[in-house]
Structure 1
Amino acid sequence: MNTASRPGSPAGLRDANRRRVLDAVRAAGAPTQAEIAAVTGLAPATVSNIVRDLGAAGVLAAGDEVRGGRRVRAVRLVRGAGVVAGIDFGHRHVRVALADVADPAISAAPERIELRADLPDGHGVTDGLATAAELLERAVTEAGARRAALRGAVVGLPAPLDLATGAVGASGVLPGWVGVPVAGRVAEHLGVPSWVDNDATLGTLAEQRWGALRGVDHGIFLKLSDGVGAGLVLDGRLYRGPDGTAGEVGHVAVDPGDRFAAVCRCGHRGCLETLVSTRTVTAMLEPLLGAPLTVADVVARARDGDAPCARVLADTGHHVGVALAGLCTVLTPRRIVVGGELAQAGDLLLGPLHAALGAAALPGTTRTAEVVVAELAEHAPVLGALALALDRCAV
């Protein structure tokens, strides 16, 4: 099931108000309802109704306390109210994280148990979900929780998605998952409400809440891994587009006029992903260096003075900057956050990226745009899945 409320709808406003109340309680620890109303700007009657509803759901509890010689009614998060799961699928891995519904974290990522497993290239939905379920059972055991305490799960996938149905689109991207309504399959498999979203979108949500996009009203999160995707923050809000596919920058044609450019998994030629994916980076260097390589190997060699490795990383940054230039000209972001496996290259990648942006974008549109490495590193997508699960299961 993929039952996200539409922003601006009555249900969306209700959910947003509940999250504001929860954030106020997490930040203060045990505020009164009057204090919650003052912090959130919500009417006292609205706060009272939300506290009552979340109390009935077992998420909040209100009780009398004595403070400064007078009795007040304080509101607290209920520990043991349950746990939620974030599940991040890559082209060749799955990562599972588990957190308490009532985790008090607001300025930092929640305390969690996080596990990872490799998956074969081209894995199908059945094998992928089976591996994820095994990791989840281990995480529940490590947390000392009961399996029945799991209240919901959010799954991130490196593919375009139909947010209405949760089905994976775009033939050639996760071919073993195309057309599968993943949220429904996960809900059946785990027996709990489940939602699905794009992994770059979830990475954006995590960086916006706990990382390098905090307080940024106009920004871009760019995930550079086996696949390439982006998440957009406009006017302080995560922008998904009308059908949920906004941010597929990996399939921007960098040189659409080249009839001999590499064919992308989406079927087009010359997409950014064919030039800057982790596979492309390592494949260009392995024949030259005569050994299988990881991105970490390439970065280490480049920092040690290896000229071919440094050149490939610089070219990668350049290609990304050229592809982002049009987007920056239109959106004028204030910060571009680079995440994914290639982010570990740091200045070796970001310097050429910023230079290419300055050369290709409309003069002035990138003057105030910072280009920084993601604070949450490779954990951003699974943390975004946790953030969404915490929101959904608390409201």
Structure 2
Amino acid sequence: MNAAGPGSPAGLREANRRRVLDAVLTAGEPTQSGIAAATGLAPATVSNIVRHLVDAGRLTATTTVRGGRRVRAVRLTPPTGHLAGIDFGHRHVRVAVARAADTLPRVAPGGAVVAPPAEVLAEREAELPEGHDVDSGLDAAHALLGEALAEAGVDRADLLGVGIGLPAPVDARSGTVGEPGILPGWVGVDAPGRAAARLGVPVAVDNDALLGTLAEQAWGALSGVADAVYLKLSDGVGAGLVLNGRPYRGRSGTAGELGHVVVGEDAGGPAGVPGGTVCRCGNRGCLETWASTTTVVGLLEPLLGRPLSVAEVVARARGGHAPSRRVLADTGRHVGRALGGLCSVLTPARIVVGGELAQAGDLLIDPLHAALERWALPGAAEGVEVVAAGLGARAHVLGAVALAGEQLLAARG
């Protein structure tokens, strides 16, 4: 048996150390007795592990007063250095640089575990060609990252890691980008490996809807919500799931592909195609063919005879333009129908709508909520809040920073 195998003394010590670190990460700043209660480990065992982790610089121990008693509390030692997040879209790339210490949880008055505000030191954005490939995307990100680091006054050597969000499923086991995604030039690519080689730092990659979930949990509309759904409505449609307070990635890390739930196979598609429009995944009538930004502007451009943006569609709708109002309302109803089944299974307390279409606000959310109540089981839909994302368009790049923080904590553990 390997000396560090699961059943060996070394393996047991490593497992216990991991349990202690996880307990600290979950609680923010627990006492040693609190760690013992959370892990089931003996107080003496916890004391020994904490002492070793303090000596190694992983934890910081302080004496504090809680409930009128002096106790020994521990917290993760804030890392020195910086992290970056990169958000790739269909036609854009956005980069943000933040202090690594800002990604760690802390305990607020009253004992609640919160994350500090995401203080971005510098941020850059650029347009990309539609359907760009991995090399051109990483070249653009590398250049923007250099500009952002320079603005923040951060040396590249102080960059501890980068998180990247992609509008595509990312297999957690291999790191490869799968289909169907709206970036065909990335499909089959070992995204973390290619990005780390290009940027020269450790890289973590995940789906952008999941990263929106991480950001909204830490700093936005999902803070403190145990069971929830983050919905990204943009060129693609994706969802991030929160179960019992933790993001749910699924067996392979690709959970949440709500855009490929079929909602209209038996009816005409957005353009009146019998059986529904064929989706890029190969099915007909997927939610994405009814509710993406491409569909929304595509339904209205023939009426106006020129290209449109989502912002213009929303502005026209708020100004009383009946076709724009109808398209946004229909979009909300299609999304609500797909969410009805999801809510019947998961019974979330809150649904947060993000992505480019979230700027439609009540024009989309009100009909979405009505359709949700129509298609979900009555008990599952009752009391579900549907709100716009608190972080707006910045949710996904901030989530990429949070992902880099996750990777840093795992490496430090």
TM range, normalised to the smaller chain? 0.7 to 0.9
Alpha-carbon separation, structure 1, partners of 2:94 and 2:243: 28
Alpha-carbon separation, structure 2, partners of 1:12 and 1:250: 36
Alpha-carbon separation, structure 2, partners of 1:206 and 1:38: 31
TM-score by length of 1: 0.85
Match of residue 111, structure 1, among 89, 113, 119: 119
8 Å contact 1:101–1:390 — kept in the other structure? yes
User: Does 1:375 find its partner at 2:390?
Assistant: yes
Alpha-carbon separation, structure 2, partners of 1:130 and 1:347: 38
Alpha-carbon separation, structure 1, partners of 2:320 and 2:248: 40
8 Å contact 2:24–2:76 — kept in the other structure? no
User: Does 1:50 find its partner at 2:59?
Assistant: no
Shift of 1:14: 5.7
Note closer, same or farther for the CA distance 1:360–1:164 as it changes in structure 2 (3 Å cut): same
Alpha-carbon separation, structure 2, partners of 1:15 and 1:38: 14
Q: Any unmatched runs of 5+ in structure 1?
A: 1-8, 25-34, 65-71
For the residue of structure 2 that corresponds to 1:176, the secondary structure is coil
Shift of 1:12: 6.0
Alpha-carbon separation, structure 1, partners of 2:57 and 2:26: 12
1:241-280 equivalences under 5 Å are 241-258=250-267, 259-280=274-295
Match of 1:335 in 2: 350
Alpha-carbon separation, structure 2, partners of 1:388 and 1:45: 30
Shift of 1:19: 3.0
Shift of 1:220: 0.5
Deviations 1:346-374 (A, max 9, x none): 11111000000111111221111000111
Match of 2:248 in 1: 239
Note closer, same or farther for the CA distance 1:291–1:267 as it changes in structure 2 (3 Å cut): same
Match of 1:101 in 2: 100
User: Does 1:214 find its partner at 2:223?
Assistant: yes
Q: Please give the root-mean-square deviation of Cα atoms over the aligned residues, in Å.
A: 2.7
Match of 1:19 in 2: 25
Match of 1:120 in 2: 129
Deviations 1:272-301 (A, max 9, x none): 111111111111111212332211111111
Match of residue 163, structure 1, among 172, 175, 189: 172
Match of 2:338 in 1: 323
Match of 1:86 in 2: 85
Shift of 1:213: 1.1
8 Å contact 1:200–1:381 — kept in the other structure? yes
TM-score by length of 2: 0.82
8 Å contact 1:84–1:393 — kept in the other structure? no
Note closer, same or farther for the CA distance 1:37–1:142 as it changes in structure 2 (3 Å cut): farther
Match of 2:203 in 1: 194
For the residue of structure 1 that corresponds to 2:56, the secondary structure is helix
User: Does 1:293 find its partner at 2:293?
Assistant: no
Identity of aligned residues (%): 55
Corresponding residue pairs, total: 366
User: Does 1:182 find its partner at 2:197?
Assistant: no
8 Å contact 1:19–1:391 — kept in the other structure? no
8 Å contact 2:24–2:74 — kept in the other structure? no
Letter in 2 for 1:354: H
Alpha-carbon separation, structure 1, partners of 2:191 and 2:179: 14
Match of 1:27 in 2: none
Shift of 1:171: 4.8
Note closer, same or farther for the CA distance 1:235–1:63 as it changes in structure 2 (3 Å cut): closer
Match of residue 404, structure 2, among 379, 389, 392: 389
Deviates more, 1:100-109 or 1:174-183: 100-109
Deviations 1:159-188 (A, max 9, x none): 111111110111563110010000000111
8 Å contact 2:165–2:211 — kept in the other structure? yes
Deviations 1:192-218 (A, max 9, x none): 111111111111111112211111111
Note closer, same or farther for the CA distance 1:379–1:37 as it changes in structure 2 (3 Å cut): farther
For the residue of structure 2 that corresponds to 1:358, the secondary structure is helix
